[in-house]
Amino acid sequence: MTNYSNPLDRFREVFDRAAVGAPFDPTAVTLATAGASGAPSARIVLLKEFDERGFVFFTNYNSRKSAELAENGRAAIVCYWPWLNEQVRVEGHIEKVSDAESDAYFASRPRESQIAARASLQSSPLASRETLETAFRDIEAAFASQPIPRPENWGGFRIIPDHIEFWRDEKHRMHHRDIYSRHGNTWSQQLLYP
């Protein structure tokens, strides 16, 4: 196994292996948040970008997850790839990505996904499925011959990691675990008992 001083380089290597012949979407990760009360919640989101700045996902800014991120400012993701028998946990604080980054990603989405983002009042009560489908059709008609602009309440968040833990399944439950912790601009690495 290669010894990485930077966990983001190591994450890239594991992610690239996970993406080769993946039976499931390797970008599907579990995002854990907690609001001011401390009550946790988790859901699957799609990891759309990662680099030296952190790990990026996109969502509706009026969603429950966004409200919890605004209250707490911290989050964690778990990336689990059972076909590799590996997982990565990332913990850190949150920032919104720039409008330019959100605009660029929104523009790259399929048109139907853009319409759905405008039609959904994510996490709000919905009277009937028909209400949502009508909103979708209305937006589709309103923007029939023009680009669909990104809604102001939709965009990206970046998790700026403080800790990144790598776990690999090993026989006899003697799993390999090690954690990287950020100290300013440098990382330290520590093995952990399974």
Residue 95: per-residue pLDDT: 98
Alpha helices of the chain — where are they, by DSSP H? 7-19, 64-72, 99-108, 111-119, 129-142
Q: How confident is the model at residue 192 (pLDDT cuts 50, 70, 90)?
A: very high
Residues in CB range of 136: below 8 A, 6 or more apart: 115, 116, 119
Higher pLDDT, 12 or 145: 12
The answer to whether residues 148 and 118 touch, using CB atoms and an 8 Å cutoff, is yes
Residue 93: per-residue pLDDT: 98
137 flagged as catalytic: no
Residue 113: per-residue pLDDT: 98
Topology given in CATH for the domain delimited by 7-109+152-192:
Pnp Oxidase; Chain A (2.30.110)
Higher pLDDT, 1 or 131: 131
Q: Has residue 1 got a pLDDT over 80? A: no
> Pick from 14, 32, 45, 44: which is nearest to 77 by CA?
32
* d(C-alpha 87, C-alpha 49), whole Å: 17
pLDDT in tens, 168-179: 999 999 999 999
Phi, psi of 16 (to 5 degrees): -60, -40
Q: Which two tokens stand for residue 13?
A: 């290597």
* d(C-alpha 38, C-alpha 130), whole Å: 35
Alpha helices of 97-164 — where are they, by DSSP H? 99-108, 111-119, 129-142
Q: Has residue 157 got a pLDDT over 90? A: yes
* d(C-alpha 150, C-alpha 109), whole Å: 10
State the chain's mean pLDDT as an integer.
96
Using a pLDDT cut of 70, give the percent of the chain over it.
99
* d(C-alpha 12, C-alpha 10), whole Å: 5
pLDDT in tens, 14-72: 999 999 989 999 999 999 999 999 999 999 999 999 999 999 999 999 999 999 999 99
- pTM across the whole model: 0.94
Catalytic residue among 64, 118, 158, 173: 173
What does the angle CA 110 – CA 41 – CA 174 come to, to the nearest 5 degrees? 100
